[in-house]
Amino acid sequence: MPNQPAPLVVFDLDGTLADTAPDLIGTLNVLLAREGLPTMPTHEAGALIGAGARALISRGFAAAGRELLPERLDALFEDFLVHYGENICVGTRLFPGVVAAMDALSADGFRLAVCTNKIERHSVALLERLAIADRFAAICGRDTFPWFKPDPRHLTLTIEAAGGDPARTVMIGDSLTDIATAKAARVPVVAVPFGYSDRPVAEYEPDILIDHFDELHGAIARMMRAAA
């Protein structure tokens, strides 16, 4: 079909493209320490990260024994955004194989996009610092649209913004949030097990589970052939 849009791969960001836990948990720990509460180890990121900064703060404070009233959470959220924005790429690194996988997909005619519950300006800033922002046709964060994951409209509007078609799109994620979003949008989903999930991500039944980004291009090719 001459007017058929290019196939699209939509990536989650935190725990999928990049290991952002050092800087996210680091910022949370600044807030906890300021309140005289015990800090959180980075290895507990799976139970905390994935639903955005407000949820991260709420979960972190609850784990440290402090419930937050809405107005206090609002104030801490603003403090979090400032500190994290100033320390967004101190310990954060791309996961092994990400750049090579994107190279292979782009060479095969795929467009790329990001759909994340990180706010848009932080998403763009981080991807710029990681030197991959210009690879994406769209970078859509928690505040880009009125809806965010797991609402499927976050994904479908990201696909639209990237000039894609849901019928020719694959989602890549690391958590129940990503898998539930993709399934609700009727988009096939590939999961990675090295991100932030409170349970083994295979339990959430993604269409395909890969252990390394070296496997991504082949997995997507198989999915596209099966859907053709």
Structural tokens at position 217: 């291009």
**DSSP bridge partners of 138:** 113
Phi-psi bin for 205: left (phi > 0), alpha (psi -120 to 50), beta?
left
Looking at this protein, which amino acid is placed at residue 120? E
Radius of gyration for the alpha carbons in the chain, expressed in angstroms and rounded: 17
Strand (E) or helix (H) holding 223: helix 216-227
Catalytic residue check, 103: no
Yes or no: say if 10 and 62 are a contact pair by the CB < 8 Å rule.
Answer: no
β-pairing, 8-11 vs 111-115, is parallel
**DSSP bridge partners of 121:** none
Given the structure tokens 């991500």, which residue do they identify? 201
Spatial CA neighbour of 163 closest among 137, 124, 144: 137
Spatial CA neighbour of 171 closest among 89, 101, 112, 97: 112
**DSSP bridge partners of 14:** 18
- Active-site residues, by number, are 12
